[in-house]
Amino acid sequence: MLRTEEITLNMGPQHPSTHGVFHVVLKMDHEVITEARPICGYLHRGIEKLAEARTYTQFIPYTDRLDYLAAMLNNTGYVQAVEKLMEIEVPERAEYIRVICCELSRIASHLIAVGTYSVDIGGITGFMYCLRDRERIMDLFEMVCGSRLTLSYMRIGGVAEDLPDEFIPALCQFLDEMPSRLDEYDGLITGNEIFQARTKHVGLLDPGVAINYGISGPNLRASGVFWDLRKNRPYSVYDRFDFEVPLGKRGDCFDRFTCRIKEMRQSLKIIRQAVEQLPEGPVMAKVPKVLKPPAGDVYHEIEGAKGILGYYVVSDGSNKPYRIHVRRPSFINLGFLNELCKGWKIADVVAILGSLDIVLGEVDC
């Protein structure tokens, strides 16, 4: 094949389909990508360092700002890590509320993933429909904790406040309407032939390679690997719910996309069971006002919206963490971007990057 002069193209840091300030330096032979070098750090805020100057409770609002599309999951991962370190028993009701909120957060995050992916491929309508339904979740969160995006609802030992009375009816209404909405996305986006032509058999991710690169979440499951921490290593009360883990077959962009839609259905199923089983009782364990975890370290990971979200907390016995490190799934999922893009056309880079569903707040931390 004829080789042309290699050209370098900067995609980003200001580019709508990088979903934030992300920079990819593309080296191309004609239209074919020979190298895609990701450069991140444009949104680095030093959150891990900020944690060292804050008390354990004061760090909770900062976890919202990691993956800001699924703040509840970030909150939960952190507070569960500290609870593990302090050996705090969380009340039943708080655990169920956490599950409900986490799964709502997962749906909200996947709605953005599905919607923006539709935009990346060129169908703006799908995005509008997804955001319409995400708005409902935002309203539910507003009822629970007063904020819509940066929720800071979880506390070490439970949750900030009990659910308001109007929450459960509103949630049930949402649960009733959501399945038909998901069918709409399937009709609008998944079934669209142009969309399928752009995504099927594009950006194939081999399961073995995916595991080696530490890729997790829907991206890994789309390659057919059964790895969901809610099933494989149940934390909180996830072992009490009956749900399936959707898997893909080929590991292409289309599978990664459909995996998210299927996961939303499973999340709805979990929320419904959690609402039915929701016990009465306190929502906060008895914890001292000033939290001083014993000296030591702990690593705790949960199944985040983007993958395995881990918190490593080191305590020196004072009221402030000595060190916090976050295993951010978006960042680790990006590690394979170069190999994934190689050999594909420039237009496919957008499709591949979009299918990985990164959020830059989490990539850069």
Partner 1 sequence: MFGQGLLKGLQITLQELFTKKVTVQYPEESLPLAPRFHGEFVLDVEQCIACSLCANACPNKVIEIETAKLDKKRVLTGYMMRLQYCLFCGLCVEACNKGAIRFSQKFEMAKYFRDQIPLILYKGEPPVQEEQGNTGITAGEAEGTEV
Binding site for partner 1 (CB under 8 A): 53-54, 57-62, 64, 125, 129, 139, 142-147, 150, 152, 160-161, 164, 184, 187-189, 191-196
Two structure tokens written together for 205: 């991710």
CA 123, CA 119: separation in Å to the nearest integer? Answer: 5
Task: Provide, rounded to whole angstroms, the least separation between the CB of residue 64 and partner 1.
Answer: 8
In contact, 102 and 305? CB cutoff 8 Å: no
Task: Provide, rounded to whole angstroms, the least separation between the CB of residue 250 and partner 1.
Answer: 19
Task: Provide, rounded to whole angstroms, the least separation between the CB of residue 246 and partner 1.
Answer: 21
In contact, 361 and 342? CB cutoff 8 Å: no
- Strands 20-21, 14-15: pairing kind: antiparallel
SS3 289: coil
Task: Provide, rounded to whole angstroms, the least separation between the CB of residue 185 and partner 1.
Answer: 9
CA 164, CA 264: separation in Å to the nearest integer? Answer: 24
Which of 114, 140, 143, 137 is CA-nearest to residue 127?
A: 114
**Closer CB to partner 1, residue 81 or residue 144?**
144
**Closer CB to partner 1, residue 164 or residue 343?**
164
**Closer CB to partner 1, residue 89 or residue 166?**
166
**Closer CB to partner 1, residue 89 or residue 139?**
139
SS3 168: helix
Task: Provide, rounded to whole angstroms, the least separation between the CB of residue 288 and partner 1.
Answer: 14
Which of 302, 222, 230, 225 is CA-nearest to residue 262?
A: 222
**Closer CB to partner 1, residue 22 or residue 141?**
141
What is the residue type of 67?
D
Task: Provide, rounded to whole angstroms, the least separation between the CB of residue 335 and partner 1.
Answer: 31
**Closer CB to partner 1, residue 148 or residue 269?**
148
